[in-house]
């Protein structure tokens, strides 16, 4: 089967799955088609094809979000949100700023994104927590599939004077790669002047997100240092783990990183993958972990620091797994 026929077959299969309500399967077929298109340099209308598939994937993601959130109350009461912050966040020896940002991250892990964004916005006012808070606000918007809101928020930060230039550089690098990891290509402005210029030139036809080309395997060392700053690890977009026990032994799972604070990355594992949870035991070190960051792939281990079943909110029944990145 030639490449054109194979792509057409994948697109037809994706439409069929979509019509039958098999949304995850449809996305998988669209991703397969995207990979074939990206690898073929001779294909005509390549950009338009990728853009069309990107739009279909975004529609599917929104449908999935609606289905998953519909039967459950998206936001729990303020009292329960406060309880989440108290029970699932900080250690007693942390300073107040560290407690505050861990509390906001705990809310986000439990799907309380709107309240988490409010708390992170308060933490943006403090220099010590500003960058971490901004990154997690963007993650919250992406978790809600609110890409345009995330971009608008980033542009508003450029227009404000609260961020230092080096802080904006870190947020730019982080957000650019977060968008790429979600399959979105968007040229982000880097200065206040560029934001104003974009707003003048903006129009519906040239403001749409498109499927991105694969990210470069590595960046210049100066860019790596700029991104890493004084942090212990680079921002991680996803991780690959080989299951070493049970019926799925030997299978490599790739998990999207939902949130990150320092060395600790948080994974959300859906209830349908409950069997996978058995491979995560608090205190265990997982070897041969593949970490995908903005500078490419690096390998290491991961120390499982927490495994929590989410019992309230829109993610009820899913599991949150915290893994501390260990680089050898």
For 236-259, the pLDDT digits (tens) are 888 888 876 666 666 778 888 888
Q: Which two tokens stand for residue 69?
A: 């959130």
Q: What residue spans define the domains of the chain? A: 3-69, 78-215, 236-326
Distance (Å) of CA 7 to CA 17, 43, 50, 183 = 15, 11, 12, 18
Residue 319 has pLDDT above 80, yes or no: yes
Class of domain 236-326: mainly beta
Class of domain 3-69: mainly alpha
Rounded distance between C-alpha atoms, residue 50 and residue 214, angstroms: 13
Do residues 237 and 292 make contact, with C-beta atoms less than 8 angstroms apart?
A: yes
Q: pLDDT digits over 214-240, tens only? A: 333 333 333 333 333 334 457 888 888
Q: Please check the confidence at residue 185 and state whether its pLDDT lies above 80.
A: no
Per CATH, the architecture of 78-215 is what? Answer: Alpha Horseshoe (1.25)
pLDDT of 308 above 80? yes
Mention every residue, 6+ apart, whose C-beta is less than 8 A from residue 282.
304, 305, 306, 307
Closest C-alpha to 64, from 26, 30, 31 = 26
Number of Cβ atoms within 10 Å of the Cβ of 208: 12
Stated as kind and residue range, the H or E segment containing 48 is helix 46-69
Distances (CA, A) of 192 to 163, 196, 222: 12, 6, 23
Q: What percent of the chain has pLDDT over 70?
A: 78
> Quick check: 169 pLDDT over 90?
yes
Q: What is the mean pLDDT of residues 83-103?
A: 73
Confidence of residue 323 (pLDDT cuts 50, 70, 90): very high
Q: Which of 85-94, 160-169, 194-203 has the highest mean pLDDT?
A: 160-169
Give the model confidence (pLDDT) of 23-39 as tens digits.
Answer: 888 888 899 889 888 88
pLDDT at 75: 65
What sign for the dihedral angle of Cα 215, 218, 223, 224?
positive
What confidence score (pLDDT) does residue 120 get?
A: 95
Q: How confident is the model at residue 45 (pLDDT cuts 50, 70, 90)?
A: confident
Which residue has better confidence, 73 or 48?
Answer: 48
pLDDT at 92: 61
pTM beyond 0.85: the answer is no
């Amino acid at each position: 089967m030639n490449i054109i026929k194979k792509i057409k077959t994948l697109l037809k299969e994706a439409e069929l799955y979509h019509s039958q309500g098999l949304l995850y399967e449809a996305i998988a077929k669209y991703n397969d088609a995207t990979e074939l298109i990206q690898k073929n340099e001779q294909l005509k209308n390549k950009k338009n094809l990728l853009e069309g598939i990107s739009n279909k994937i975004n529609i599917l993601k929104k449908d999935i979000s609606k289905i998953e959130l519909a039967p459950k109350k998206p936001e729990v009461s303020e009292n329960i949100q406060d309880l989440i912050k108290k029970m699932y966040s900080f250690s007693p020896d942390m300073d107040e700023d560290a407690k505050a940002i861990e509390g906001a991250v705990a809310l986000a892990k439990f799907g309380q994104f709107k309240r988490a964004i409010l708390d992170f916005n308060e933490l943006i006012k403090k220099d010590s927590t500003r960058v971490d808070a901004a990154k997690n606000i963007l993650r919250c918007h992406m978790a809600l599939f609110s890409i345009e809101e995330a971009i608008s928020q980033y542009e508003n930060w450029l227009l404000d004077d609260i961020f230092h230039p080096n802080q904006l550089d870190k947020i730019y690098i982080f957000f650019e790669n977060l968008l790429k990891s979600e399959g979105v290509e968007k040229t982000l402005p880097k200065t206040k002047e560029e934001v104003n210029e974009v707003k003048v030139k903006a129009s519906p036809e040239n403001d749409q997100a498109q499927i991105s080309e694969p990210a470069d395997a590595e960046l210049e060392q100066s860019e790596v240092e700029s991104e890493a700053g004084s942090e212990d690890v680079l921002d991680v977009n996803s991780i690959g783990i080989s299951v070493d026990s049970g019926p799925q032994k030997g299978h490599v799972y790739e998990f999207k990183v939902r949130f990150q604070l320092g060395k600790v990355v948080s994974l959300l594992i859906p209830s349908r993958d409950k069997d996978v949870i058995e491979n995560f035991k608090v205190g265990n070190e997982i070897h041969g972990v593949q970490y995908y960051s903005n500078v490419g792939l690096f390998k290491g281990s991961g120390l499982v620091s927490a495994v929590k079943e989410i019992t309230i909110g829109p993610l009820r029944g899913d599991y949150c797994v915290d893994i501390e990145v260990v680089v050898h």
